[in-house]
Amino acid sequence: MQNDTATIGRDLEFAIEKLEANGLVAIPTETVYGLAANALEAEAVVKIFEAKKRPSFDPLIVHIKGTEDLAKYAKVIPDQAGRLAQALWPGPLTIVLPKHSIIPDLTTSGLDSVAIRSPRHSLTRQLLGMLDFPLAAPSANPFGYLSPTRPEHVADQLAGEVDYILDGGPCEVGLESTIISFIDPGKIEMLRAGGYVREEIEEILGTQLSVRTHSSSNPSAPGMLAQHYAPRTPLLIVDADEVPDMNTLRSFGFLEKSKNPKIAYIKLIPTQNPPEWATDAFAWSDDGNLRQAAARLFALLRTLDGQNYDLIVAERVPPRGLGLAINDRLSRAAHQS
């Protein structure tokens, strides 16, 4: 049953009651808010796909309390997968492993593998500790839109679809988890850049990752679809040292109709000298800190998306550390770059 005014609060007992009745509860994680249901019940999981209008070929991540639960849901756990989970959980790491039959096919969209992660947010960790099933949860946004990093973001877009929103405040990391697949015996693959940087993971594994994040034809992680995480306002991504002039901006075709377009401009660091076409200038961070930039990314785009700009122009950030995941999300959110 749907209710139009989903309640927001911190009532774990109420959240459990809803989840045990196969309902949907939005949960805070350190990365983004998730739209959670009992991962072991197809009847509950189907509601996630309906609420998000998510295609059923896009598999979900199963959230568990910690490594002690891994063997219940994964049939095979290679040593390196176990080592990585030990080192980085709870945290923004998802590992893909052969699935145990207890996980319904709907959760994994028919794949023989399952994506598993142990989130770090304390409220959700308490919740997982009180449940006797794991939670399937994609990001709690309509399919293709920006991921939510505050409880209000979920309420704005999915209020009529969820039974409860567990309020854990703003998300600390702000970017989804890094996804590592152990399915191909010959190599360990990074399917999505995210909250843990590649070098951190390679150091723990003592080996290089192979990176497969740009296949849009056959997305084994549809977070890999070329356009995803997108605002409604046209978004143009540019390099910091190649900021376009007005004629170039017009050549992209987003501004034809408006004589005096309202344009938002986003840099990594606040600027005193924005380009003359910029109506307003914003910054991802106060001083270039990429962690802060990641934490603000989706929330700033979402705020600007609600302010009637004709165009948002955002600069790429330096492509190191978390900058790679930030640029990845920017290019998927972009209408043109």
Q: Which residues bind ligand TXA (CB under 6 A)?
A: 29, 31-32, 34, 58-61, 92, 94, 96, 108, 111, 113-115, 117, 119, 137-139, 176-177, 179, 191, 220-223
State which residue, 178 or 282, has the beta carbon closest to ligand TXA. Answer: 178
What are 99's strand-pairing partners? 74
Stated as kind and residue range, the H or E segment containing 153 is helix 151-158
State which residue, 111 or 243, has the beta carbon closest to ligand TXA. Answer: 111
Q: Is the peptide bond before 90 cis (omega within 30 degrees of 0)?
A: yes
> Closest approach of Cβ 194 to Mg ion, in Å?
11
> Closest approach of Cβ 22 to ligand TXA, in Å?
19
Work out whether strand 61-63 and strand 135-136 pair parallel, antiparallel, or are unpaired: antiparallel
State which residue, 94 or 327, has the beta carbon closest to ligand TXA. Answer: 94
Chain centroid offset of residue 45 CA: 18
> Closest approach of Cβ 61 to ligand TXA, in Å?
5
Stated as kind and residue range, the H or E segment containing 280 is strand 280-283
> Closest approach of Cβ 46 to ligand TXA, in Å?
15
Find which of Mg ion, ligand TXA, none residue 168 binds, CB within 5 to 8 Å per kind: none
Binding residue count for Mg ion, defined by CB under 5 A: 1
E-only strand ranges, 79-234: 93-98, 113-117, 135-136, 164-166, 178-181, 189-192, 210-211
The full length of the chain comes to 337
Q: Which residue has tokens 């802060």?
A: 292
State which residue, 97 or 236, has the beta carbon closest to ligand TXA. Answer: 97
State which residue, 185 or 206, has the beta carbon closest to ligand TXA. Answer: 185
User: Does residue 157 bind Mg ion (CB under 5 A)?
Assistant: no
User: Does residue 139 bind Mg ion (CB under 5 A)?
Assistant: yes
Stated as kind and residue range, the H or E segment containing 154 is helix 151-158
> Closest approach of Cβ 32 to Mg ion, in Å?
7
The span from the CA of 16 to the CA of 233, in Å, is 37
> Closest approach of Cβ 113 to ligand TXA, in Å?
4
Find which of Mg ion, ligand TXA, none residue 29 binds, CB within 5 to 8 Å per kind: ligand TXA
Q: Which of 147, 88, 143 is nearest to 119 (CA)?
A: 88
- Residue range at the interface with Mg ion (CB under 5 A); choices 81-89, 132-140, 212-220, 261-269: 132-140
State which residue, 72 or 212, has the beta carbon closest to Mg ion. Answer: 212
- Phi then psi dihedrals of residue 100, to 5 deg: -80, 150
Q: Which of 162, 166, 165 is nearest to 1 (CA)?
A: 162
State which residue, 112 or 203, has the beta carbon closest to ligand TXA. Answer: 112
- Phi then psi dihedrals of residue 59, to 5 deg: -70, 160
Residues of this chain that interact with Mg ion (CB under 5 A) are: 139
